[in-house]
Amino acid sequence: MDKRFWVVVPAAGSARRMGAAVPKQYLPLAGRTVIEWSLAPFLAHARTVAIVVVLAEQDQRWPQIAIAGDAKIATAIGGAERMDSVLAGLRALQDRAAPDDWVLVHDAARPCLSAGDLDRLLNELSNDDVGGLLAAPVVDTLKRADDGGRVLQTVPREKLWRALTPQMFRRDLLQRALQSAQAKGLAVTDEAQAIEALGLQPKLVAGDSDNVKITLPEDLPRAERILISRSAT
Ligand SMILES: Nc1ccn([C@@H]2O[C@H](COP(=O)(O)OP(=O)(O)OP(=O)(O)O)[C@@H](O)[C@H]2O)c(=O)n1
Ligand SMILES: C[C@](O)(CO)[C@H](O)COP(=O)(O)O
In tens, the pLDDT along 65-89 reads 999 999 999 999 999 999 999 999 9
The phi and psi torsions of 40 (rounded to 5 degrees) equal -55, -45
Q: Which residues contact 193 (CB under 8 A, 6 or more apart)?
A: 181, 186
Q: What is the pLDDT of residue 69?
A: 96
| CATH code, 36 | 3.90.550.10
pLDDT digits (tens, 9 = 90+) for 191-218: 999 999 999 999 999 999 999 999 999 9
CA distance 208 to 26: 23
H helices present in the chain, as ranges: 34-44, 82-93, 115-125, 171-184, 191-196, 219-232
Q: Which residues contact 192 (CB under 8 A, 6 or more apart)?
A: 132, 133, 163, 167, 202
Ligand 1 mean position, distance from CA 134 (Å): 18
ipTM: 0.98
Residue closest by Cα to atom 16 of ligand 1: 13
Residue closest by Cα to atom 3 of ligand 2: 164
Ligand 1 nearest-atom number relative to CA 214: 12
Ligand 1 mean position, distance from CA 3 (Å): 29
Expressed as residue numbers, the domain containing 189 is 5-232
Indicate the average pLDDT of the chain.
97
Helix axis angle, 34-44 relative to 115-125, nearest 10°?
Answer: 50
The number of folded domains in the chain is 1
- Protein residues whose CB sits closer than 6 Å to any atom of ligand 1: 10-18, 25, 54, 78-82, 85, 107-109, 213, 215
Kindly report the pTM of this predicted structure: 0.97
Ligand 1 mean position, distance from CA 73 (Å): 19
Ligand 1 mean position, distance from CA 15 (Å): 6
Under 8 Å between Cβ of 18 and 100? no
Find the ligand nearest to 216 CA.
1
- Bridge partners, residue 135, by sequence: 163, 206
Ligand 2 mean position, distance from CA 36 (Å): 19
Q: What is the pLDDT of residue 168?
A: 98
